[in-house]
């Protein structure tokens, strides 16, 4: 599922549909005991004591309540995060609950004190319920002319959120009390508080203190100061009603109540209260549904994660994903594609799309992936989803097969002359671009000039099944049929497949499966997926070095001279029938890059449009920028390896 489909519901709609927004804590009996006239305090205290004394007996009536021991293994739904290779956050993935679980020690002491002050100041003194807190809460609320403190303990709120419905009934409240006692018989106070702070709803799809702190203040919960902590504690009763994103004045009013309560308890001084009240709040922005920083990357990552781990793990499992891309490098690639597309339009070429994929040939890590000119205008990722004919950019697979057979060298001769093949029920006569023939030519000259007839003949001589086998070895997984025209790229491939395959040529035959993910861990740091490169030699070194030598000639004096970057580089142009797709796929020892230009509706680009004339310059401009801080490296000579 795409990330954009995950981000669905607004907070307002969410509250209408029953999201767990903490209800205003009016206390255990504030709303149950109603006395007309006179004083309510004594009645409430008496009722509280009666209930407290009878809870043991009532527990027998609640045998069907949930077993709180399940909390020992309880793992709340947690937001997953995607980072670039240097640790920059790219995207967050979640369903309804945007949550990051943290340890209690990783939450600001100020926030813990503020929450306890306003929600349950006797938390560390009671055993799950606190009958006297009902009367105290009523008195505090009466003095402040507002609901400042509730009678429900933090433990009761926790079990309500985790186990019970949100109905305001006596039976629900009694069940809440019984479960609270059970919880505190099993868990230490700090464990209860940690669960509470990680589970409560803080508004705008933010669950737990860490996510809320990031949303409201763009900082970790560990770094919250007193004014910020008091503000967040004040939100718990009705997060959206008191939200600074909605009503800043109401937010400040709630903050003052929390600070006043903290001073009444002696937890802060009058001076600290005054200073915190006057301090401005630097409010951030909601983080729950913000868009990805690199959508082409993160969409591809999400697809792979869901295939490996399932949707629930991705949206609720709190996984941490380190990608192979560097944020700045990817942004540079996107800018290169956008600028190139603009130049194409200025040249009169009406191509809808340009796609680019760059793969590190040493690791087969994807370094850049641009699926189109503008993600905002089209979310279709042509780098990995679009099958397009590679044209002559496919020919290196055929020539490698020839060299690897041990029967051919670059100087071997082949006749560039008319030929006709039986292809099913019809005949196929390959033609060169321009319609002419050159007679006997060397394999090097045939590939450098991108002659079609020699490529078709060579494919027949080495065997198309062998060519297909090599393509499979290099990671091309899409259907490949042994048709006569296969050497001319009459099949569909993706830019990712082409870049990954040519990366193996660049490494002189060492191959790893291209990946956009370095590592996946759970929120505790346990490794779920480790894509540390495990390269293996899959191609013959002599044949690969020989092919690279010939492809260097494509750039130095063949159809790809517009790709010259002033350092050793090899590559191949590609142009399909009717000019529907044009390519340049090339490499240096460190990096392989595929560039594709075309229209989504397969409309021809125009007469005379070639990969060498249009795609090669885009490749050149990108590679010059990509390699500006990289040292010049050289390809190995075929003479270093034994010939097969």
Could you give the angle at the alpha carbon of 380 between the alpha carbons of 377 and 385, nearest 5°? 160
Q: What is the mean pLDDT of the chain?
A: 86
Sort strands 510-511 and 421-423 into parallel, antiparallel or unpaired.
Answer: unpaired
Q: Are residues 265 and 343 in the same domain?
A: no
User: Looking at residue 640, what DSSP letter applies?
Assistant: G
Asked whether residue 186 is assigned to any structural domain, the reply reads: yes
∠ at Cα 446 (440, 449), nearest 5°? 125
Looking at the structure, do residues 506 and 591 belong to the same domain, yes or no? yes
Does residue 364 share a domain with residue 263? Answer: no
* H or E element at residue 383: helix 382-385
Is 565 within the bounds of a domain? yes
Mean pLDDT of 270-285: 89
The tokens describing 207, both together, are 């669950």
Please give the tally of structural domains in the chain.
2
Same domain, 64 and 159: yes
Residue 54 is part of which domain span?
A: 3-278
Looking at the fold, whether 426 and 508 belong to one and the same domain comes out as yes
Are 241 and 340 in a shared domain?
no
Give residue-wise pLDDT tens across range 184-220.
999 999 999 999 999 998 888 888 999 999 989 999 9
Query: Do 265 and 391 belong to one domain?
Result: no
Q: Any alpha helices (H) in 61-188, and if so which ranges?
A: 109-119, 131-144, 154-163, 170-186
Which of 55-69, 110-124, 580-594 bottoms out in mean pLDDT, i.e. has the lowest? 55-69
Between CA 116 and CA 160 the distance in angstroms is 17
Structural domain includes residue 300 = no
- Both 268 and 363 in one domain: the answer is no
Catalytic residue among 336, 361, 392, 523: 392
Higher per-residue pLDDT: 7 or 259: 259
Residue 144 pLDDT > 90: no
Query: Strands 206-207 and 98-99: what pairing?
Result: parallel
Q: Decide if 290 is inside a domain.
A: no
CATH number of the structural domain spanning residue 576:
3.40.710.10
> In the structure encoding, which two tokens stand for residue 198, read together?
């990680």
250 is catalytic: no
Among 209, 243, 278, where does a domain finish?
Answer: 278
What CATH number should be reported for the domain holding residue 95? 1.10.3810.10
Domain assignment present for 28: yes
Answer yes or no: are the C-beta atoms of 540 and 324 closer than 8 Å: no
- Asked if residue 419 and residue 545 are part of one domain, the reply reads yes
Note if the pTM is more than 0.85. Answer: no
Q: How far is CA 133 from the centre of its chain?
A: 46
Please report whether residue 74 resides in a domain: yes
The answer to whether residue 499 sits within a structural domain is yes
Residues 259 and 408 in one domain: no
Q: Which residues of 160-191 are buried (b: 16+ CB within 10 A; e: fewer)?
A: bbbbbeeeeeeeebbbbbbbbbbbbeebeeee
Tally of CA atoms within 13 A in the half-sphere of 154 that contains its CB: 30
Name beta bridge partners: 598.
Answer: 353, 581
Q: Which of 278, 293, 309 is the last residue of a domain?
A: 278
Token pair belonging to 397: 């697979």
pLDDT tens by residue, 330-373: 999 999 999 999 999 999 888 999 999 999 999 999 999 999 99
| pLDDT tens profile 4-49 | 333 333 343 333 333 333 333 333 222 323 322 333 344 344 344 4
Tokens of 601: 């509706």
Give the number of C-alpha atoms closer than 13 A to the C-alpha of residue 272, restricted to the C-beta side. Answer: 17
Phi, psi of 574 (to 5 degrees): -145, 130
Q: Write out the E strands in 404-513.
A: 413-416, 421-423, 426-428, 439-442, 510-511
Say yes or no: 349 and 227 in one domain.
no
Q: Contact, 204 vs 243, CB < 8 A?
A: yes
Query: Which residue in 119, 149, 184, 299 is the catalytic one?
Result: 119
In the annotation, is 392 catalytic?
yes
Angle between helices 395-404 and 464-473 (to 10 degrees): 100
Please state the φ and ψ torsions of residue 169, each to the nearest 5 degrees.
-130, 160
pLDDT tens column, 70-117: 777 777 788 899 999 999 999 888 776 778 889 999 999 999 999 999
- Tell me how far apart the alpha carbons of residues 558 and 633 are, in angstroms, rounded to a whole number: 22
Query: Which residues touch 280 (CB under 8 Å, ≥6 apart)?
Result: none
In a domain, 492, yes or no: yes
Angle at 19 between CA 8 and CA 138, to 5 degrees: 150
Query: Does 437 share its domain with 504?
Result: yes
Q: For 499-532, how does the pLDDT look when each residue is reduced to its tens digit (9 = 90+)?
A: 999 999 999 999 999 999 999 999 889 999 999 9
């Amino acid at each position: 599922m795409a990330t954009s489909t995950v981000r669905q519901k607004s907070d307002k709609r969410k509250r209408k549909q029953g999201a767990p927004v903490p209800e205003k804590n009016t206390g255990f009996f504030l709303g149950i005991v109603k006395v007309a006239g006179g004083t309510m305090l004594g009645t409430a205290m008496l009722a509280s004591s009666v209930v407290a004394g009878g809870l043991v007996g009532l527990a027998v009536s609640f045998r069907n309540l949930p077993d709180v021991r399940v909390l020992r293994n309880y793992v709340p739904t947690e937001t997953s995060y995607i980072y670039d290779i240097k640790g920059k956050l790219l995207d967050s993935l979640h369903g309804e609950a945007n949550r990051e679980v943290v340890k209690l020690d990783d939450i600001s002491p100020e926030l813990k004190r503020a929450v306890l002050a306003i929600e349950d100041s006797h938390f560390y003194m009671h055993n799950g319920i606190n009958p006297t807190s009902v009367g105290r809460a009523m008195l505090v609320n009466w003095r402040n002319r507002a609901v400042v403190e509730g009678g429900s303990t933090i433990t009761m709120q926790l079990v309500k959120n985790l186990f019970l419905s949100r109905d305001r009934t006596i039976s629900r409240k009694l069940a809440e009390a019984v479960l609270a006692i059970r919880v505190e018989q099993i868990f230490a106070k700090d464990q209860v508080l940690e669960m509470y702070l990680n589970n409560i709803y803080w508004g705008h799809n933010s669950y737990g203190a860490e996510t809320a702190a990031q949303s409201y203040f763009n900082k970790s919960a560990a770094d919250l100061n007193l004014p910020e902590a008091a503000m967040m504690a004040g939100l718990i009763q009705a997060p959206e009603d008191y939200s600074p994103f909605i009503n800043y004045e109401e937010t400040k009013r709630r903050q003052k109540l929390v600070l006043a309560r903290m001073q009444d308890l002696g937890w802060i001084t009058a001076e600290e209260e005054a200073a915190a009240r006057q301090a401005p709040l630097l409010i951030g922005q909601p983080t729950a549904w913000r868009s990805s920083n690199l959508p082409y990357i993160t969409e591809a990552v999400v697809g792979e994660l869901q295939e490996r781990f399932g949707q629930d793990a991705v949206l609720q499992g709190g996984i941490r994903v380190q990608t192979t891309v560097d944020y700045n490098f990817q942004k540079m690639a996107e800018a290169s594609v956008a600028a190139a597309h603009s130049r194409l339009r200025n040249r009169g070429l009406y191509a809808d799309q340009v796609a680019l994929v760059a793969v590190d040939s040493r690791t087969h890590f994807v370094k850049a992936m641009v699926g189109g000119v503008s993600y905002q205008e089209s979310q279709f990722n042509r780098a990995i989803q679009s099958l397009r004919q590679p044209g002559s950019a496919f020919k290196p697979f055929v020539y490698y097969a020839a060299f690897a057979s041990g029967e051919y060298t670059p100087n071997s001769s082949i006749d560039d002359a008319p030929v006709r093949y039986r292809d099913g029920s019809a005949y196929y006569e390959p033609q060169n671009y321009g319609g002419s023939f050159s007679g006997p030519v060397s394999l090097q000259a045939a590939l450098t000039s991108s002659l079609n007839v020699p490529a078709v003949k060579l494919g027949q001589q080495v065997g198309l099944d062998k060519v297909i086998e090599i393509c499979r070895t290099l990671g091309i997984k899409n259907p490949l049929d042994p048709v006569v025209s296969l050497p001319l790229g009459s099949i569909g491939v993706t830019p990712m497949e082409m870049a990954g395959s040519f990366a193996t040529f660049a490494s002189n035959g060492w191959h790893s499966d291209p990946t956009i993910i370095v590592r996946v861990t759970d929120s505790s740091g346990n490794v779920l997926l480790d894509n540390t490169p495990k390269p293996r030699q899959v191609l013959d070194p002599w044949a690969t070095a020989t092919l690279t030598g010939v492809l260097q000639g494509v750039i130095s004096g063949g159809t790809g001279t517009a790709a010259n970057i002033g350092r050793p580089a090899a590559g191949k142009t590609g142009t399909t029938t009717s000019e529907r797709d044009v390519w340049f796929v090339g490499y240096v020892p460190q990096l392989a890059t595929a560039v594709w230009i075309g229209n989504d509706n397969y409309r021809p680009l125009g007469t005379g449009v070639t990969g060498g004339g249009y795609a090669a310059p885009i490749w050149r401009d990108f590679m010059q920028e990509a390699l500006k801080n990289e040292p010049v490296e050289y390809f190995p000579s075929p003479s270093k390896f034994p010939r097969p």
